[in-house]
Amino acid sequence: MLNQQSIIGIVGSGAMGSGIAQVAATAGHTTIIFDTNNSALEKAKTNLFNSLNKLVEKQKISEEKAKSISKLTTYTGSMEDLKSCNLIIEAIIENSDVKKNVFKSLESIVDSTCILASNTSSLSITSIAASCQKPERVLGIHFFNPATLMPLVEIIPGVATDNQLALTCKTLIDGWGKITVMAKDTPGFIVNRVARPFYSEALRIYDEQIADISTIDWAMREIGGFKMGPFELMDLIGHDVNYIVTETVWTQFYFDPRFKPSLTQKRLLEANFLGKKSNRGFYDYREGAVLKEAKKDETLGKYIVNRILCMLINEACDTKYLGIASTNDIDLAMTKGVNYPKGLLKWADEKGLENVLNTLNELYEEYQEDRYRACILLKQMVKQNKTFY
């Protein structure tokens, strides 16, 4: 049983792993960070020190609390040091085979009651768990970057996961001050599945020369109310991350055209124009670069927002229809995981489900592509004059 005295292990000392460790130590847990890369461990130590100092300076935590967090956090290059852990969260490269090997190694070291979790954003929890002798103790615990600031955590039981264990982890992480949602083990879970059209439909509009990048971002911010436009956000996330998630979800859904990646984004990845981290992406971040002005045409802007939003709503409907998550958890996930201005199913009610369906039907009629097929649940609800709330 997990409690305040539980020892938390983290595999991987990168930004995500060290962020999760800080969250756990802040909640009062003895936390052990394991990494085979000594320089990465040293960097994680420095980052924690700097992060805690900033929090003290901003008077968000006391000096005593900062010292306590530091004292509770230890670093090791030996996996053996994780044997006393009650919960271990893996946060390493998004490669299924690498993760499976780590889980096999962990299982040979830890106690039989230790819970093993993966922070994967899109890989199969069931597949990772199948590499273990006790797959029932394996689940997904997916934090969002940066883990110290983003409130959402997706809890994902695999097919073999003990359901009570998933609820125990949910309760523990709720106690860390996070907002948890339960998701079925499907590609992308909730957020990375439902959010795909935010990027892919924006790219489609751009590829078809309906509007340029600046105009699409302007429309989604100023008319749609999103904090960032899709191209700004892709550049911030990095195309080495965002494109790979899109391609992974598309592949795992047996090449469903709704998730089809864009060649335009793939070419940026191939050019190593990864976004802000490389100073070039959809935008040019180099010194002296001139930003193209948005075409602030309200009619065009409303068309862009309506098209992307209806595609997002359709994906949220499908997520509900397939029992991946509840109505409330889908909306919580999108507002707390990617800062959408409203939950998509609540937004659907406000727009009118019939209006959403009409937009999707118009797109389908125009393109004759399965990409624009309306979710059966949306059709049924319009027919029955129902709403989500």
**Do residues 47 and 40 touch, judged by C-beta distance below 8 A?**
no
Catalytic site includes residue 53: no
Return the bridge partners of 76, or none.
Answer: 34
Q: Which two tokens stand for residue 164?
A: 């009570």
Catalytic site includes residue 208: no
Catalytic site includes residue 328: no
d(CA 192, CA 200): 12
Q: Give the sheet arrangement for strand 73-76, strand by strand.
A: 73-76, 31-34, 8-11, 87-90, 115-118, 138-143, 152-157, 179-182
Catalytic residue chosen out of the listed positions 13, 18, 118, 121: 121
**Do residues 162 and 188 touch, judged by C-beta distance below 8 A?**
no
Q: In sequence order, which residues have a C-beta less than 8 Å from that of residue 217 and are 6 or more positions away? A: 228, 229, 230, 231, 232, 294
Q: How many CB atoms lie within 10 A of CB 236?
A: 14
CA distances from 219 to 12, 342, 355 (A): 39, 16, 20
Catalytic residue chosen out of the listed positions 154, 201, 232, 315: 154
Catalytic site includes residue 142: yes
Catalytic residue chosen out of the listed positions 29, 86, 124, 142: 142
Catalytic residue chosen out of the listed positions 6, 119, 124, 192: 192
Q: Which two tokens stand for residue 374?
A: 């309306």
Q: DSSP H helical segments within 63-210, as ranges?
A: 63-72, 96-107, 125-129, 163-174, 191-194, 196-207
Query: CA nearest 196: which of 256, 245, 268?
Result: 245
d(CA 314, CA 376): 10
Q: Is the dihedral of CA 221, 224, 225, 226 positive or negative?
A: negative
**Do residues 186 and 322 touch, judged by C-beta distance below 8 A?**
yes
What DSSP line would sit under 324-359, residue for residue? SS-HHHHHHHHHHHS--SS-HHHHHHHH-HHHHHHH
Query: CA nearest 236: which of 146, 334, 140?
Result: 146
Show which residues are catalytic. Answer: 121, 142, 154, 192
